[in-house]
Amino acid sequence: QIFGLSKGNARAYWNWKFLAPQPDLPQTRKMLMRAADMRLPARLTCADLDYIASTLIKAAMITAQAPLAAK
């Protein structure tokens, strides 16, 4: 789930209706439009979490090394 692309996501400050109107925060908005949430079941073991973390790190490294046009 991408925080800034999900309608009504509580992590996106522009959905907060319990505060007074907030100023536009362009840098925060830009970050939230790209931040993702990955829900994990509580039953995962440390080994499971290590595997998931290493897979995400490898994917990020591959993406970072890709030519700019491919991004």
Give the pLDDT of the chain (71 residues) as one tens digit per residue.
Answer: 677 777 777 777 777 878 788 788 899 888 888 887 788 899 999 999 999 999 999 998 998 887 766 55
- Amino acid at residue number 22: Q
pTM of the model: 0.54
Q: Residue 10's closest CA among 1, 24, 69?
A: 1
Can you give the pLDDT at residue 10?
A: 76
Can you give the pLDDT at residue 70?
A: 53
Q: Residue 36's closest CA among 61, 13, 68, 12?
A: 12
- In DSSP terms, 2 is beta-bridged to 36
**Six-digit token pair at 25?**
């925060």
Can you give the pLDDT at residue 59?
A: 92
Phi-psi region of 8 (alpha: psi -120 to 50; beta: other; left: phi over 0): left
Can you give the pLDDT at residue 62?
A: 93
